[in-house]
């Protein structure tokens, strides 16, 4: 009777887990980590809500459910109601355990899913059934299922924590948010840089090259610009030729290095740098000065740490 009631009351869990499994598989397969993380947390909240509602239904509908099966046996009904009131505690954790097993199945991790199901439905249930009835009598039988669900929930929680770095389903609040902030600010700065270049009759590339020439000074070569800006030599050569045509730079032979030529700003080029590049660099300095000394040190340290970690992780791929 109680097992039949369990089947009826746990139907919401089973339906939700089956419906969520396909969505979990889609986002995991597509590496949509923000959506995956959002789905994971939303699912846990939904399961928690269903658990509370199922518990309340089990407690308040215990007698009506018992009457469906044994309306002509008052003694059996009373026994079933008492058993249901004890058994109902299992509903608080049952949904969480079902979701854990279905979740890892959706991630194509059959081993973890099978372990969770095996221990929850056999090992963790068998042990209380062998021990509790001898200590508590019939109540021990009813208490065996809540005990099994409690042990299963502990195991499910362990695997959720253990596997989160492998499947990345709990990163939205940290990694994904950090990534979004960094990318958004880099895009904003690039956009502002490009708009500033256009406002002064330049392109993004030509302004970055002109900035490199201005910063490097007399030892500037196309090779050095390529190293400073990380642009290919062909791209650097194209922009430098446009500067030559406009009369902003001139090239001089380097006696000690005949393969490279020194790039020197002409009077027109120096005027352009003083009008465009120097104010831009001063704006950068003002932005930094707007931070406190502590904020500046922290920002530098965090970016250095992030950059080193990023490079190391790429090398491991």
Per-residue pLDDT reduced to its tens digit, 43-91:
999 999 998 998 888 888 888 888 877 777 888 888 888 888 888 889 8
Task: Answer for the pair 261, 222: CB distance below 8 angstroms, yes or no.
Answer: yes
pLDDT the model gives residue 312: 87
CA-angle at 40, arms to 38 and 41, nearest 5°: 70
At residue 176, the pLDDT reads 56
Residue 276 is given by DSSP the state I
Asked whether 100 and 160 are in contact (CB, 8 A), the reply is yes
Q: How many residues does the chain have?
A: 317
- Residue 26 has a pLDDT of 87
| pLDDT value at residue 171 | 58
Q: Identify the pLDDT of residue 114.
A: 94
Regions of the chain with pLDDT less than 50? none
List CB contacts of 172: < 8 A, sequence separation 6 or more. 33, 34, 37, 38, 41
Question: Can you tell me the distance from the alpha carbon of 28 to that of 32, in angstroms, rounded to the nearest whole number?
Answer: 6
User: Distance of CA 153 to CAs 94, 124, 210, Å?
Assistant: 8, 11, 62
Range 133-140, long-range pairs (CB < 8 A, 24+ positions): 138/79, 138/83, 139/82, 139/86
Specify the DSSP element, H or E, that contains 261: strand 261-265
Cα 187 to Cα 194: distance, rounded to the nearest angstrom: 10
């Amino acid at each position: 009777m109680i097992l039949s009631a369990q089947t009826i009351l746990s139907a919401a869990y089973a339906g939700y887990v089956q419906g969520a499994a396909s969505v979990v598989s889609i986002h995991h397969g597509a590496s949509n980590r923000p959506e995956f993380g959002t789905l994971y947390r939303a699912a846990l909240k939904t399961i928690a809500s269903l658990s509370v509602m199922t518990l309340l239904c089990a407690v308040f509908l215990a007698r009506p459910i018992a009457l469906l099966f044994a309306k002509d046996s008052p003694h059996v009904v009373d026994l079933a109601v008492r058993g249901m009131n004890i058994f109902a505690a299992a509903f608080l954790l049952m949904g969480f355990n079902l979701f854990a097993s279905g979740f890892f199945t959706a991630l194509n991790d059959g081993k973890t899913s099978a372990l969770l199901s095996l221990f929850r439905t056999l090992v963790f249930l068998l042990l209380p059934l062998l021990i509790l009835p001898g200590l508590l009598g019939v109540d021990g039988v009813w208490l065996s299922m809540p005990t099994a669900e409690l042990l299963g929930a502990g195991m499910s929680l362990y695997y959720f924590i253990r596997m989160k770095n492998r499947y990345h389903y709990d990163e939205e609040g940290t990694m994904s948010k950090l990534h979004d902030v960094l990318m958004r600010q880099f895009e904003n700065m690039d956009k502002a840089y490009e708009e500033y270049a256009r406002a002064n009759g330049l392109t993004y590339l030509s302004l970055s090259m002109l900035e490199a020439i201005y910063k490097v000074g007399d030892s500037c070569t196309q090779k050095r610009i390529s190293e400073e800006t990380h642009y290919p030599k062909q791209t650097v050569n194209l922009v430098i030729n446009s500067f030559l045509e406009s009369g902003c730079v001139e090239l001089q032979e380097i006696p000690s290095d005949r393969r490279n030529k020194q790039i020197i700003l002409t009077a027109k080029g120096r005027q352009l740098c003083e009008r465009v590049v120097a104010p831009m660099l001063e704006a950068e300095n003002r932005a930094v000065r707007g931070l406190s000394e502590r904020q500046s040190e922290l920002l530098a340290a965090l970016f250095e740490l992030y950059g080193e970690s990023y490079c190391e992780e790429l090398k491991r791929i």
